[in-house]
Amino acid sequence: MPLIALEEHFAWDPASVGNPVATWLKSNDPLALERLYDRGPLRLEQMDAAGIDFQIMSLFDPGVQESVDVAAAVDLARRANDDLAETVRANPDRFGGFATLATQDPDAAADELERSVTDLGLVGALINGHCRGRYLDDPAYEGLFERAEALGAPIYLHPTTPHPAVMDAWFAPYVGQGLHLASWGFAAEAGTHVLRLIYSGLFDKFPRLRMIIGHLGEMLPFAAYRIDRYYGLGGTPENPLARLPSEYLLDNFYVTTSGNFCPPAFSCTLDVMGADRVMFSVDYPMDDNQDGATFLSSFPMDDGDRRKVSSENAVRLFGDRLPAYLNAEDQNAKT
């Protein structure tokens, strides 16, 4: 069965100049840094070794979203997407791409999403969480989400460093241990961001909008029962949701395995989300392709569900934006 990975990162200068993770890798893991910047032979070699057929790439966090110069960020996003599209065109059977968006300017971000999908052939967009403290439930972003729904272009909501006020209140004493990063802070930040989008009523306005979150759902599948049970506990919501919060999670979101190869957590995610809503990812090069592929192939699950997670759900979500050979039904018809 084909294997599609879709939270896989690359660095690109000038957007990645001074990136703190890339800077750390330069001194501590030069091979990982080389993998992060490579979009050619080394990346393909790593994919082939793990049996990964197709990889959807995205610009490494925070992308262009931290720039205080809005016009420069918009220009840089456009250039980054043009550059990524060249990589995809050079190897369309192996690589796809998520657009990067300068969410400093919501209207420009909506236009760039449309250009990236319709003109450049990218599959959707990846947004690195809040933008200098502004979250995507801000009404200014409704036009972006309306455009994404109309285009049928999924948006991957990727974690970023928590809001500065949260950093001060929660994480400041433990930055040296990395509590604010992938061990805990990223999931707490991204999971809360998802709930803000749900509680804002975004998916009542745009019910066909599709979003993706990584790391087995940023802890939300584990918490879904209590989220529903205590929704509205603070008083009568000013604009109550039409359904329970978890129903939007199940209907409007897909989750990936990126960087969370833990069998009990995967089992919980499958039980809560259902196999139709889970997709394979590695989080390359921070995590290892072979580790991710071995995890999926060895997990005790029905072969039909394994096919869904491996590729069928991604093919259904992205449609003809992926190469035709990845469609398992097409492959079965040929055999």
Which tokens belong to 258?
């990126």
Which is nearest to 152 in space by CA: 130, 128, 122? 122
CB 94 within 8 A of CB 5: no
Give the β-pairing of 124-128 and 211-213: unpaired
Considering the candidates 283, 291, 302, 305, report the single residue annotated as catalytic: 283
Q: What is the dihedral of CA 129, 135, 141, 144, to 10 degrees?
A: 10
Half-sphere exposure of 186 (CA within 13 A, CB side): 19
Within 8 A by CB and 6+ apart from 45, the residues are none
Alpha-carbon torsion, ordered 305, 306, 312, 318, to 10 deg = 100
Catalytic annotation present for 283: yes
* Catalytic residue list: 283
